[in-house]
Amino acid sequence: MSRIGIMGGTFNPIHFAHLILAESSYEELKLDKVLFMPSKKPPHKLNENIVSDDHRVCMLQLAIQDNPHFEVSCMELEREGITYTADTLRELNDNYPEDEFYFILGADSLYQIEDWWKPKEIFNLTNIVAAGRDHVTSQELTRQAAHLKELFGARIHLLNTPNMDISSKMLRQCLSNGKSIRYYVPDSVEQYIRTQNLYIEHETLSVDLKG
C-alpha cells in the first residue's frame, strides 16, 4: 500500500506556499509521493481568469522538476465538465484500491469544505491534511477539525507548518501592476511567466471590464 498526497488547485500560478505545504505533508505523514493535480473548472472559480491547461502544467513541471517525490497528474484536466473533488477521489479509489490518499488543503478550504459537492463522500474516501492560512489560529483550526470529525467522521491531520499568506491572486495582481514576484515562485516559473507574458493582459482585462 502506498500513501499518496493529493495537492489540488488551479495553480494559477503555483508558488512556494504550495510547495512548502506539499513537502511538509510528505515529511510529516511519511508519504510515498505527492501528486500535484491542476483542476480544469473548479465550481468556485468559474468566473476567474485562468491561463491555459498547458501553461499551468508547464509551470508545475518546472516548479517540481528537482523533487523526485513530487509528480504532476493531469487526471482532472482530462475530465470534461466542472471539477468536483468527490469525483476525483472516487476515481482514484476505484483505480488504486490498495493505496491510501491524503488530500492536502489550506485552512480556508477546511472552513469551506462543508459546502463542497458531496462532502460526506470526500471524507469517506480520503484523509484530510490541513495547514494554517490567512491568520487562522491553531485553536480555531482545531475546533473546525473537531466539528468536521463529529459531523462527518472525518479523518483530519493538522500540519505543523508556518502560516504563509501567499495567494495566486496576489501574484497575478503584482504582475498586472508591474511588481516583482521574485522569491514568491521558483525562478524557473517566474522566467516562464515573463517569457510567455502571462497574467498581465488577463488581469488588465478584468479591471477594464469592472470599470
Averaged pLDDT, 21-29:
96
Answer yes or no: is pLDDT of 201 > 70.
Answer: no
Q: How many domains does the chain have?
A: 1
Does 187 map to a domain?
no
Answer whether residue 194 is part of any domain: no
Which run of H or E residues covers position 34? strand 33-38
The dihedrals phi and psi of 34, each to the nearest 5 degrees, come to -125, 125
In SS3 terms, the chain reads as CCEEEEEEECCCCCCHHHHHHHHHHHHHCCCCEEEEEECCCCHHHCCCCCCCHHHHHHHHHHHHCCCCCEEECCCCCCCCCCCCHHHHHHHHHHHCCCCEEEEEEEHHHHHHHHHCCCHHHHHHHCEEEEECCCCCCHHHHHHHHHHHHHHHCCCEEECCCCCCCCCHHHHHHHHHCCCCCECCECHHHHHHHHHHCCCHHHHHHHHHHHC
Question: Any idea what the CATH number is for the domain that residue 121 is in?
Answer: 3.40.50.620
Is 210 part of a structural domain of the chain?
Answer: no
H or E segment to which residue 20 belongs:
helix 16-28
Q: Domain residues for 104?
A: 3-164
Domain-embedded: residue 72: yes
Residue 158 located in a structural domain: yes
Domain assignment of residue 203, yes or no: no
Please provide the average confidence, as pLDDT, over all residues in the chain. 90
Report yes or no on 121 lying in a domain: yes
Q: What is the per-residue pLDDT for 133?
A: 62
Give CA torsion, residues 132, 119, 37, 203, to 10 deg. Answer: -70
Specify if 110 maps to a domain.
yes
pLDDT of residue 206: 40
Task: Convert the pLDDT of each residue in 86-113 to its tens digit.
Answer: 999 999 999 999 999 999 998 889 999 9
